[in-house]
Amino acid sequence: MSNTNFHGFHELNDSQIAQVKRAASNELARRSTPAAFVYLIAMAIIIMGSSFDTDYPWVIYSAMAIFTITFAIRFVTLVRFNAIYDSSPRTWNILISSAVITTSITWGIISSLSIYYYQTSWTPLLVTGATAAIVAGGLFSLGIYKRLTQIHITAILLPNFIGSMLVGGYGIAIYFITFLVYCLIQSRYVYTEFWNARINAVRLDAETQQRLHQLTYLDSLTNLPNRELFHDRLQQAIHDSKRRNTICGVMFVGLDRFSKINDTLGHHSGDDLLKAVSRRIKDVLRENDTVSRYSGDTFALIINSLDDAQDAARIANKIIEAFALPFEISDLELFITTSIGISLFPDDGDEQENLIKSAESTMYKVKQQGGSNYQYYKTDIHAESMEQLQLEAKLRRALEKNEFVLYYQPKVNLHDGTLSGFEALMRWFPQNSEQESEMVSPVTFIPILESTGLIVPVGEWVLRQACIQAKEWQKVCTNKFRMAVNLSARQFKHDGLAEMVARVLGETGLEPEWLELEITESMLMEDTDYTLSVLQQLQDMGVHLSIDDFGTGYSSLAYLKRMPINTLKIDRSFVKDITTDSSDAAVVQTIIAMAHNLNLTVVAEGTETAAQVNFLRYQQCDETQGFYFSKPLPAAELREMLELARHWLSDAAAEHITDTDNCVAINAKN
């Protein structure tokens, strides 16, 4: 606990140490005076009695006894205060470095001292004007209370005081104050910087100590060790493993898609699930292992005394198998999976910080790969995590540095070979002072934008730039066309999507009918009521809606019938082999026929050969896009194509869409 937290508290310098020792000496002199007086009287009686004969020898014997007793008392007092004299500066420094307390005002001191300090007669010094609370081991640390008044003091003195005024570290309230001492300081004991006071320490009762322990080291929801206690136990486990030359493991267990359960069923059900999860994990572990709640939906485990690395894998498998059974929460059976990252001592580090980072980064890697699995830490995972962190930092500045660029890929009408639209695709060229900027693949940076939430502002920028470009191109192109923009899952779930689209259309002047928004098939199936509501708002606005990568998900005809969509885009994975694989050809034929029966437009992605174009046209596919016609290009390179687009695309269609025999042959195979 840092001393700088407390106004006026600091370790003593040489001058102040001298003050402390003078105070102890003065107190010694004051307390020794009565004993010295009795000592002198007894000694006088003995001297006088030995000089005269007396019939009362018991007087001399009594005086000798009193002398002996007072001498012993004075000797003990001297020894005790010599100890106080020597230790009082050290005691003071210990107190202000490990504890806190109390309040001092101009007329006195209110003091509370709890746990571990049980001395009953020492002389610490308190700085004037300071407010603090002495709690050993840094259990709590109080802020400074300015302008403490009689009202506050009265409240503090109330029996069994429980209040929010005394709040410790991490916002934990001080619930129990069991002992308060009021000490009026005489003016002769007041020094320039310090007051001299006696503080009596008291032992907290067992119930209070247990409560303080729970507040400090246990998670209030699951009653598992919290992060603080986990760190302490891990340090001890590392120490034991070094001494015994054994392996210990650290596991981070993260719940997959827990936030969805929380959002759907509410936080109360989420809390019940966390408690059930904690019990199930504890049942898998051995008694000498530790499971702690490390953060919201993440549990950290310490696996002690492993015979080999495979022991950790066996425990991880048991946890995954335990989660195969449903959890009964709120009269529902809930299924949830886990992602587990494993690091081992000493292979993955000999410090707890390294082991924790390694296991945690591995857990997130497993989550990215779909979850419901475990993985050992590998050095390349850490390197990859560091690279992602660096990319994230660069991405946060990319928008303001104008490092994002939009490329556009043309879409061709397969019925007449004319230009029917463009798809806007984002590219990122990070600025590099040492060499020419190189493009970072969207596969690399789009997931980072999505996971960090940066996709929301960046997505709005993409939409605005695409609308501006479409408006400009419509001035030079004789045919009207639609500009397609992809929406990510994070964007789609963000509040106010429809309002943002309407605002951008209004600012750019593009008519809604010439904007097409693409969502994936998987997004269509998540929270269907919300999805239907948002899509309906966009369609009512006049915006064209499209399902991207159709065929890769598991949407049913019921979804397609309910949702207000206009277009299906067949995923490139089916188009790739339509001229050589009868199964892919049959899938594409079926999708086209089904879409037309639902009055939907069909677009095929990824066409690269004339044979593919011929097949799609023969099957009455409406539009296509792919490298056969053009790869994605920046706007400047597409302007000349736009001016000649009608003739060039018509000629290309006439040239390439002639070989119907090939189409018939493929159709015959099916």
Does residue 104 belong to any structural domain of this protein? Answer: yes
Residue-level pLDDT at 432: 66
Same domain, 120 and 31: yes
Among the residue ranges 85-94, 100-109, 327-336, the one predicted with the least confidence is: 100-109
Strand partners, 343: 250
pLDDT at residue 158 tops 60: no
- Clarify whether residues 286 and 149 are in a common domain: no
Q: How many domains does the chain have?
A: 3
DSSP codes joined into one string, 66-125: HHHHHHHHHHHHHHHHHHHHHHHHHHHHHHHHH----EEETTEEEE-EESS---SS---E
Tokens of 555: 């949407």
Domain membership of residue 217 (yes or no) is no
396 and 373 in one domain?
no
Cα 310 from Cα 639, distance rounded (Å): 61
Q: Is residue 214 a part of any domain in this protein?
A: no
Cβ distance 371 to 338 under 8 Å?
yes
Q: What is the pLDDT of residues 53-93, one digit of tens each?
A: 555 566 666 666 666 776 676 676 666 666 655 555 554 44
**385 lies in some domain:** no
Instruction: Please state, rounded to an integer, the average pLDDT across all residues of the chain.
Output: 72
Q: Work out the pLDDT band at 309, boundaries 50, 70, 90.
A: confident
From 377, 395, 396, select the one nearest 385 (Cα to Cα).
377
Kindly report, residue by residue over 206-254, the tens digit of the pLDDT.
454 555 556 667 888 898 998 888 998 999 899 889 988 899 999 999 9
Of residues 526 and 401, more confidently modeled:
401
Same domain as 200, residue 125: yes
pLDDT at position 66: 67
User: Which CATH number covers residue 297?
Assistant: 3.30.70.270
What is the distance between the alpha carbons of residues 443 and 284, in angstroms, rounded to a whole number?
38
Q: Are residues 554 and 516 in the same domain?
A: yes
Q: What is the pLDDT of residue 219?
A: 86
Q: Provide the 3-class DSSP secondary structure of residue 326.
A: coil
Judge whether 384 lies within some domain. no
- The whole domain housing 241 covers 222-377
**Residues 365 and 398 grouped into a single domain:** no
**Residues 170, 79 share a domain:** yes
Residue 635 lies in a domain: yes
Which CATH number fits the domain that encloses residue 471? 3.20.20.450
pLDDT for residue 634? 92
Place of tokens 């089916």: 574
Say if residue 521 is in the same domain as residue 633.
yes
- 201 with 228, same domain: the answer is no
Antiparallel, parallel or unpaired: β 419-428 and 327-329? unpaired
Which residue type, as a one-letter code, is found at position 489? Answer: A
Q: What is the DSSP letter of 587?
A: H
Same domain, 146 and 226: no
408 and 279 in a common domain: no
Q: Which residues partner with 520 through β-bridges?
A: 548
Per the domain annotation, does 383 fall within a domain?
no
Q: Kindly state whether residues 327 and 426 are assigned to the same domain.
A: no
pLDDT at 526: 72
Q: Which of 158, 177, 207 is the last residue before a domain boundary?
A: 207
pLDDT, residue 152, reads: 32
In a domain, 382, yes or no: no
